[in-house]
Amino acid sequence: MTNKRTTSTKRGRIQISGFDPKRVTEREGLSDWTEESGQETQSRWKRALYKFTRNRSALLGLAVVVVLSMLAVFARPITVLGLTVQPFGLAPYEPGTILYMVDPSISTWDPPSASHPMGVDGNGRDIFSRVLYGGRYSISIGFVVVLLTASFGLVYGAISGYYGGWVDEIMMRIVDTIFAFPALILALIIVAVLGGGYWQLVLAFSLFGWATYGRLIRGEVLKVKENEYVLAAKALGARDRSVIFRHIVPNAMPPLIVVASLNVGTVVIGVAALGFLGLGMPSSSAEWGTMLDSTRETLIQGPGGRIPWWATVFPGGAIFLFVMAMNMIGDGINDALDAQETGAGKQGGGG
């Protein structure tokens, strides 16, 4: 009798593995991004890290970026609200120090020497100190802008792709309007209106720079939200916010990471371009593009008939080195995450 009752109570029950409550609720945010490989479950993030650490060019680029960043941080002591938080000074002079007022034997446009490895500029300032210090502007603006734009674009694109319908239509028409104008022109207009400065440059590249990430994430979300675990989460009554940011967004992240790593270099070039046009940081600052602007009149004909090549080669070389290193890192991340399969290769071209 017992066996019969047990059997009868199980009749008519349908078990759907994709909607197993225990399986969905215990899933760690799906950010593990796991794949079944035989009897072992291998985290794709760990596999991506392993592949990245085996990429020599990517590691070289990472080393260059770390070195340049550390040189910028430790170029001169950093004081916040009267408190010295970084006491070291690798640069021998402050970036605005006029050397011939300290040492009369030094003149303007002195070529590289043992005491001044990168020479002296037209205002009598040590270029080596200025290049090290200038990394604080160029590098930090690149990372801050990408952090802000990627974060906002992630949220914007996730909402657009998840809800779809008229919400998606309106949000994507806004993105299309932004894409109708060149990004550098928009940044130039903003800086021309607000004036040059650190936060003005950050705003200029952030105000519309999120559109690329928004469209990229929106496309990824449209694909991810059709997976069975997303449908399972909805069936179990999960809130939209939880479904988007716990179940969908982690699986849409890889192409965004690739594009973000490449866009850091793009922002640095954009900041340097505005600086070269005289619309970036104040003319006395040590930002790399602004340093090039202060010496562009000497590119064809220098003082005394000689061209002070060192005044442009070293700031320009710093820009080239950093951007090239970031591109190498981006390529390494792309290979490690196999982002071509997720669509990053198709949409990652936009700066």
Q: For residue 319, what pLDDT band results from cuts at 50, 70 and 90?
A: very high
Q: How far apart are CA 18 and CA 344, in angstroms?
A: 28
Residue 4 counted as domain residue = no
The mean per-residue pLDDT over the stretch 199-226 comes to 94
Q: How far apart are CA 252 and CA 215, in angstroms?
A: 12
Residue 38 counted as domain residue = no
pTM above 0.85?
A: no
Own/partner pairs for 275-280, CB < 8 Å, 24+ apart?
277/188, 279/188, 279/191, 279/192, 279/196, 280/191, 280/196, 280/201
* Confidence check: pLDDT of 21 > 90: no
Residue 192 counted as domain residue = yes
**DSSP annotation of 115:** S
Residue 110 counted as domain residue = yes
Residue 36 counted as domain residue = no
Question: Three-class SS of residue 120?
Answer: strand
* Helix H or strand E segment including 80: strand 78-80
* Confidence check: pLDDT of 249 > 60: yes
Residue 293 counted as domain residue = yes
Q: For residue 272, what pLDDT band results from cuts at 50, 70 and 90?
A: very high
Residue 15 counted as domain residue = no
Whether the Cβ atoms of residue 110 and residue 127 lie closer than 8 Å to each other: no
The parent domain of residue 206 ranges over 48-78+85-347
**Half-sphere exposure (CA, 13 Å, Cβ side) for 243?**
22
Residue 125, C-beta contacts closer than 8 angstroms, at least 6 positions apart: 93, 95, 96, 97, 98, 99
Residue 23 counted as domain residue = no
Q: Dump the DSSP string for 23-78.
A: HHHTS-TTTT-EEEETTEEEEHHHHHHHHHHT-HHHHHHHHHHHHHHHHHHTSS-E
Whether the Cβ atoms of residue 254 and residue 342 lie closer than 8 Å to each other: yes
**Looking at the 3D structure of the chain, how many domains does it have?**
1
What tokens were used for 280?
Answer: 């970036």
Greatest pairwise CA separation for the chain in angstroms: 111
Q: Which residue has the higher pLDDT, 159 or 18?
A: 159
Backbone angles phi, psi at 78, to 5 degrees: -115, 125
Rounded to the nearest angstrom, the gap between the alpha carbon of residue 284 and the centroid of all alpha carbons in its chain is 27
CATH code, domain with 90: 1.10.3720.10
